[in-house]
A and B are shown apart, each in its own frame.
Chain A
Amino acid sequence: MIILIPLFCTLLLLLLKLQVLPIPIIAILSIISILAALSLIGYYSIIAYKHPLQKRISKILSDYEKKHEICQRYQIILNLSGHPITMHTPQEGFNVRFQGCTINGFISTGIFYLVVAHPTHHLSSIANLWSEIGKCHTKFHDMCLAIHPDQVDTLNETLSQEWLFIQQLLHTAPSVSLLINDEQLSQSIYYVKEYGTLPKPITITPYGNLITVLQQANDQLNQWIRQLYIQRHDLCIYPPINDKQKTHLFQLSHSFEKQKTNLLNIIAFSTEAKIPLHSICFGRNEFILPKQNILHKYKQPSVAVLLTALTFGVYGSFVVIKSQVNTTLSLNHGSVLAQQLYTLSRYPQYKHIQAKHLRRLKSSYLDNNPNQATYQYLFSTHKKSDPLLKHDIVNHLTEGNLNKQLVEFLSRHWFKKGRTSKPILSELAPIISEYHIPEVCKILEPTQINNCIQSLSRIKTYQIHDQALKNLEQTLIPLDINNYEHTLRQLNYLIQNPKHIGQGALRQLEDIISKLSLEGHTTLVNKAKDIQSIIYLLQSSNGQYILHKIKDLHVLNHETDSDEDALSLLQKAYMTDRHPLRELEYIQNNLAKYQAKWLKDMTDPMIHNIAQKANGFLKEIWNGHIYPELNNHPISNTDISPNEMHYTFSLIQTYFDRYIRMFVQEEEGDIVVKPYKLGIHIPENILTSYIYTKVVASGLDIKEDHFHAVWAVSLKEMPHPIESIYLHGANKKQPLTLHKGTVLHWDSRYPVGFDVVLQNGETISIIQNNNWSVLQLFSQFNESKPLCYQYKSENQSWGFSIEVKPQYPINLLNVDLIQNIPFSAWQ
C-alpha cells in the first residue's frame, strides 16, 4: 500500500500534467476505480464475516480481549512434526476438523496461534484447508513450520520434492519460523528454561548475504551447544527427572552439535529459495516472533530501491517544474513579470524563486534610474511607514505602468530594513508627493522636522514649476517632425494668426510669476519672463520670419528621403548664405541668449536628422568604396606602379572634390571643416589623408607609365682619393663639378645614381633601378643638415658630400612621407 498510494498519486499527477485526458474524465476514472475497489473489499469482507472458522476466531478473540489486552500478533503454525503443539501457559481456544485436518486455535501471552496439522501430512487436504483459512481474511503476521528432529536432515529434499506446496506457502509468508519439536525435546527445553539458562533462540536475517547469514547462525548454534555443555551437570542433578530424561538432557549439547550442519543447510536452502526464515526454535514453548515485521520487508533491496527511485522521480518532477517556472519568469520583465510574481504569491513553495525575481525586477527598475541611491534609501527605511507613501514611491519608480494591485504587492516586498546613506533633498523631492513630505521628514530628520519640511517643500515647489515652465517652453509651437501634415497646418495657422501664439501660456506664466515672486524663486521668475519674451518675439514680425524659416526647415526635412538627398541639401547649405538652414543659424546668432537656446532646441532635432543622414552617406562611400580600394593599392609599398599610384591619387581627389570640398576651407595651410553648426562631421583622419596625398603629388610628377622629378645636385666636397664623380639620371651621365649645380632628371624607368672614379683608376657605381629608385638611392646617404647628403664607403676609406635642392617646395626624398600616408576607415 505504501508503494501503491504514491504510485497512484504520481500517475494522476502525470495524467494531469501531460494533459493526456481531460480533467473531468480523470476525476470520473479515479472515482470509479475507488468505488470498484471499495465494493470488492466490502464483498470479500461479508464472505469472511460469515465464515464458520472466522466466527470461532472472532469469538475467542473477543472473549480474550474482554478479559485481557488486545491480541496484536497472529501466528499460523503448520505442524508436520506428528506431535501436538500445546502451551504450558493456560490457553483458551477451539478444536475443529476439516477433511481430516485438525485446526487448533488458542491464545497464549497475547498472541493468537492457529495450529494446522494432518496425521499423515496429506497435502491436498492441507491445501483445501489453506484456501478456507484464506477466505477468513484473518491476517497472520507469521507462519511457523513445525517438524520433528528426525525430519531436520531431509527437510530440504522434502520441501523441494514432496512438499512443494508447503515451500510455496513459506515463500509467500511475511515471516517464517522453524519449530523443531518432539515430546522429549520439548520437555528437556522446558527443564533447561526452568532449572538453568536457556540460550537465546536462533534468529536469521532473511534475504541477507548467505555467508553472513550462515556465520551468524553458526555462532548462535555454537552458543547453544556451549551453554548446554556448561550446564550439563546442573541440569542433570537438580530437576526431579528420571534417568532417561537425565540422559537426554546430558546429551542435548552433543545432539545439537550433530544437528548443526543440517540446520545450517536448511538456512542456506531458505536463503537461496527466498523463504523469509526468521528464526529456528526448539521445543513447543520456545516461539520467537520478529519484533518488527517491517524491518524484514525493508531488507528486501527491491523495496528500498523502488521507494528511493520513486522519491527521486517525484523530486525530479518538482525540480523540473520549478526550473520551468524560473525560466518563464526569467524571460519576462517589467509589468508582465510583476503580474507573474503576483500570481506566484498564491504558491508558497515558489517563495524562493519569487523573492529572487522580485529582486531582479527591482534592480531592473533601479539600474538605469539616476535617483538609484535615493530609491535605495526609501526602500530601506520605510518599513513601517504609511502604505500610501510606499505606493507613491513604487508608482514613481515604475512610472505609473502598474495597476493598484501590483503596486500594493510590490510595495509589500520591496521595502526591507537596511542601511543606506541619506539622500539629497533635491533628488528625493521628485519621488514623493507633497502630501507625504511630513512623513518622509519624520524618518529623514527626526530632530529637525520643520526645517526639513520647509526645505523639501521649497525644492518640491521649485521642481514642479520648473517642469511646468519646461513644458510650456516646449509646447509654444507645435513642432512634431513625425507628423508632417499636422505640424505644417499648425505652423501656417500661427503664421497667419500671430496673436494666437502662446495666449494660454502667457496667462499661466503670469500666475507662475506672481506665485513664485512671493516665495522668492527668482531664477524661475526670470525663466518665466524669458519664456514670455519668446512669446512676444514670435508674435512680432521678426517672429513671423522665424516661423517661416522653421516651416521651410520642416518641409526640407520632410522632403529629404535618402541619405544622398540629405548630403546634397547640406552641401547647398554650406555653399549658400541664403539657405534656410544658414538663415536660421544667423537668426540664432543674433537673438538673445535664452531665445537663441529655445530656437536651437526647436530646430536641432530636424537639423540633426538631416546631418545624420548626410554623415552616414559620406561614411558609407568612404568605408564601402574608397577605403577598400586604398587598401588594395597601398602607397607605402615602394613597388607600387605609377599607374596604381595615379589611380589611388585620383580616387581620393575625386571623393574629396565631389563630397567633401563644400564642407571645408583652407585655413593657414590646413584644411578644416567650415564653422557652421549644421551637424556635418568629417573625421580628422580623412582630411589628413587628403592633405598627405596632396603633399606627395606636389613633389612628384605622376605620369601614366613613370614618375618624374627634378633636383639640382651640387658637389660640396670630394676629398682624396676621389678623382671624379658622375651623375646618372634619365638615361644620361653627367660629371659633377665642385660647387656647381647639375640638374638631376629622375625618370623611374631609368637607373639613377653616381659613378665614383678613384685616383687609382677604380670606378665604384652607386646606382638604383626600380620604381622608387631615387628614394632608395638617397636612403644610403646621411642627411647631415637640410638638403645636404653625405655618402661614406663601406670601409669608411672615402666619401663625398652633395647638396640636393628639389624643384618644388616639398622634399620628396623623405621616405617617411610616402610610407606613412595615414589611410584609415571613417570612424
Chain B
Amino acid sequence: MDTIRLLQTLNNFPQQDVIHYYIISQFLKERTYNNFIQLIELLDHELKHDYQLSKEQKSCIQYLFRDWGHLHLKKELKAKQAKAIFLINDIVQKPGHFMEAIDFAKRNPKNNELLMRFGLTLLVHSALDKVDTKAKIDALEQLLTQETLEPLITVETQRQELKTILIIGYNITLALYCIWMLTKITYPPL
C-alpha cells in the first residue's frame, strides 16, 4: 500500500527508481533480516515483471541489494540466512563482490543508468568505509545526469489570488465611494 502511494506521488519519476528508493528507505528504517527478506522478495517480484532490463542487469541489481544488505547485517546473520539471501535465480552467489557489481554497472553508462542510480544510493548508505566508497560515488555522480523536476505551476492558486484581489479592489472602491457619498448626502432646504 505504501509503495502504491509513493508511486502515485512520484509518478513523474521512473517506477523502478521509486521502488528502489522505497526498499532502501524501508531497510534503513528497520535493519532486520526478516524485513530484508521481504524487501528482497519485493525487489525480485518487480524485476520479474520488468521487460526492459536484461538478465544480467537484473542479476546485478539483485546482487547489489543483497550484498549491500548483507554488509549492514553481517554481524547478525547466520550462515544459513546468508545463503538464503544470496540465492539468485536458483544459484547461490558468493558475497563480497559489491564493488565489482558497481563496476559492472559503470561499464556501460548509457544502458545502465538505472543500475548506476541504484548503485549510487546503495554506496551513499553503505556500511563500507567512506574512504572506499568515495571514489566510486564521485565517479557515478559524474556519469549520472541530474534529475530535474518541472516547477509546479499552480494555475488554480494564481486564479484564486486574482479573484481575491479583484474582490478586494471592488470592495475598496465601493468603500471609498461609500465614504465619499456620506460626505455628499444632504437634503437642501428647498
Contacts and interface: CB of A to CB of B under 8 A. Distances in A.
Interface string B36-78: 0000000000000000000000000000000000000000000
B190 A328 contact: yes
- Size band of the A side of the interface? 35 or more
Nearest to A231: B147
A216 interface: yes
B175 A222 contact: no
A317 B185 contact: yes
A294 B148 CA distance: 37
A9 interface: yes
A230 B9 CA distance: 13
B2 interface: yes
Interface string B145-159: 001110010101100
Contacts of A236: 124-125
Contact of A295 (B164, B177, B182): B164
Contact of B9 (A226, A346, A347): A226
A358 B10 CA distance: 76
A511 to B, nearest CB: 50
B178 interface: yes
A315 interface: yes
Chain B facing A: main interface SS: helix
A160 B103 CA distance: 57
Name which of B9, B28, B137 has the most chain A CB atoms within 10 A of its CB: B9
A38 interface: no
Interface in B138-181: 141, 147-149, 152, 154, 156-157, 160, 164, 167-168, 171, 174-175, 177-179, 181
B80 interface: no
A212 B13 CA distance: 26
Contacts of A10: 182
Contacts of B28: 247, 250-251
Given A311-B177, A315-B181, A325-B188, A230 B125 contact: no
B121 A254 contact: no
A232 B186 CA distance: 71
A321 B188 CA distance: 9
Contacts of A343: 188-190
B114 interface: no
Interface residues of B, number: 46
Nearest to A261: B5
Interface stretch (A46-54, A138-146, A302-310, A528-536): A302-310
Given A227-B149, A232-B21, A216 B156 contact: yes
Interface in A203-220: 205, 208, 212, 215-216, 219-220
B87 interface: no
A511 B137 CA distance: 134
A250 B25 contact: yes
B89 interface: no
A720 interface: no
Interface string A4-40: 0010011001000100000000000000000000000
A226 B168 contact: no
B101 interface: no
A233 B121 contact: yes
Interface in A335-392: 340, 343-344, 346-347, 349-350
Contact of B125 (A247, A258, A299): A247
Nearest to A244: B28
A314 B178 contact: yes
B147 A230 contact: yes
A243 B152 CA distance: 32
A260 B182 CA distance: 51
Contacts of A450: none
Interface in A600-646: none
A345 to B, nearest CB: 10
A144 to B, nearest CB: 22
B125 A250 contact: yes
A216 B177 contact: no
A312 B148 CA distance: 53
A153 interface: no
B168 A294 contact: yes
A215 B156 contact: yes
A416 interface: no
B190 A329 contact: yes
B188 A350 contact: yes
B149 A230 contact: yes
Contact of B171 (A227, A298, A329): A298
Contacts, number: 131
B171 A314 contact: no
B154 A225 contact: no
A1 interface: no
Contacts of B187: 17, 321, 324-325
Among B22, B156, B179, B190, chain A packs the most CB atoms within 10 A around the CB of B190
Given A208-B160, A251-B25, A294-B168, A233 B181 contact: no
Contact of A254 (B22, B141, B164, B190): B22
A258 B186 contact: no
A223 interface: yes
Interface in B99-135: 120-121, 124-125
A518 interface: no
A779 to B, nearest CB: 76
A349 B186 contact: yes
A41 interface: no
A237 B124 contact: yes
A223 to B, nearest CB: 5
A249 to B, nearest CB: 10
B2 to A, nearest CB: 7
A427 interface: no
B190 A257 contact: no
B16 to A, nearest CB: 14
Contact of A222 (B9, B157, B178, B188): B9
A350 B21 CA distance: 76
A325 B190 contact: yes
Nearest to B147: A230
Contacts of B184: 318, 349
B178 A225 contact: no
Nearest to A350: B188
A236 B24 CA distance: 14
Contacts of B10: 225-226, 229, 253
Given A236-B125, A237-B124, A254-B22, 9 more contacts: A205-B160, A212-B156, A220-B152, A226-B9, A227-B149, A229-B18, A247-B28, A311-B178, A325-B190
Ranked nearest first, the 4 interchain pairs of A and B with the lowest CB-CB distance are A311-B178, A311-B174, A349-B184, A223-B152
Interface of A: 2, 6, 9-10, 13, 17, 205, 208, 212, 215-216, 219-220, 222-223, 225-227, 229-230, 232-233, 236-237, 243, 246-247, 250-251, 253-254, 257-258, 260, 294-295, 298-299, 304, 307-308, 310-311, 314-315, 317-318, 321, 324-325, 328-329, 340, 343-344, 346-347, 349-350
25 contacts: A2-B175, A6-B178, A216-B157, A229-B21, A230-B149, A232-B21, A233-B124, A236-B124, A237-B124, A247-B28, A247-B125, A250-B24, A250-B25, A250-B124, A250-B125, A251-B28, A257-B6, A260-B9, A298-B167, A307-B175, A310-B178, A314-B178, A315-B181, A343-B188, A346-B188
